[in-house]
Amino acid sequence: MRAVALLLALSIFFLATASRAMNLDDTFHFLTTLIIASTSAGQSQGTGFYYQHLAPGDPAKSGPQWRAVTNTWLVTNRHVVLPKLGGKEIVPASFAFHLRRIDGDKLRWEPITLSTDELFKRARFHEDPEVDVAVVDVHDRLIDKIKGGATYLQTYLQWYSVSPENFTGQNNISVQASDDVVVIGYPRGFYDEVNLYPIVKSGIIASRWGANFGGKPFFLIDAKLFPGSSGSIVLSKPTDLVVKDSRLFSAKEKQFAFLGIYSGEPFKLERPIELAGMIITEKSGFNVGMVWYAHLVEEIIGHGKSRSP
């Protein structure tokens, strides 16, 4: 009880390190959240996921250990936080992400709603407004939900987060063009409405990994995705076997790398044509999606810009 009291007094909670064995079903299904932004033009829906910083481990200890979570952010697309109408960004009247609440023998989404002013106090964007990534500090709002101690465990399903320890190169995981990826989100608002599970889709890396496609810090994936998938987390396909420096490494449970944030399909505008007094411009798609590199999250946390309503 004393440890719990200290935990809550410090407004932190603890999680095992990324190197511990993980249940991939739980991680995949509780990593993301449904986002709803309400504007004067109506509601728009997207996907977000949780990202955290962990306190350093105890160097005197070996193997997995419990570590403090020092901060937690909600990561999504800039255009999910600031929906566009007619090419212009709209400031939402309210912005909500959700926890999975246990309601008797059923589950339901419980919104954590941010007002316009609160959203813009918490949200950070990249210095380049074309980088379609936004980071929202939600640590204290999540802490509020766990202050009930054991009551929390009976009321909400646990959420999961990724951290810098999930970047490529960690756990000996690296990727390259043609490697398999998974994308977790809520395409067109479609998901398991009973269990509140997102949809896990697959694809492959379709451009050179590490290169800034067209000069912007994103890469392409070949995957069939839909609106509502915006803000989805993109991960390397989980594996329990890795070859590095001609050596074979194995893990008790499958591991993955956090690759980036999906933000939609790129289109090419064709030459405008005049038809019946109207100017028509066609858009050509390529069945590929843009994924902004994971390292941008750290850049935004460290050097991102706020925006006034």
124-157 confidence digits (pLDDT tens): 999 999 999 999 999 999 988 877 655 666 788 8
pLDDT digits (tens, 9 = 90+) for 35-76: 999 988 889 999 999 999 998 888 888 777 788 899 999 999
What is d(CA 183, CA 165) in angstroms, rounded to the nearest whole number? 19
What CATH code is assigned to 2-303?
Answer: 2.40.10.120
Residue 220 has pLDDT above 60, yes or no: yes
Q: What angle do CA 220, 222, 224 make, to 5 degrees?
A: 120
Decide if pLDDT at 15 tops 50: no
Reported as a pLDDT band with limits 50, 70 and 90, residue 262 is very high
Report how far residue 196's alpha carbon sits from residue 126's, in angstroms, rounded to the nearest whole number.
31
Contact call for residues 137 and 122 (beta carbons, < 8 A): yes
* Band of residue 247 on the pLDDT scale cut at 50, 70, 90: confident
Q: How far is CA 10 from CA 3, 47, 70, 106, 142, in A?
A: 11, 30, 10, 33, 14
Residue with tokens 């193997």: 63
pTM of the predicted model as reported, rounded to 2 decimal places = 0.86
At 59 the pLDDT is 85
d(CA 54, CA 42): 38
Residues whose CB is less than 8 angstroms from the CB of residue 168 and which lie 6 or more positions away in sequence, other chains included = 174, 175, 236, 257, 258, 259, 294
Q: How far apart are CA 186 and CA 201, in angstroms?
A: 10
State the pLDDT at residue 275.
60
Residue holding tokens 């603890």?
A: 14
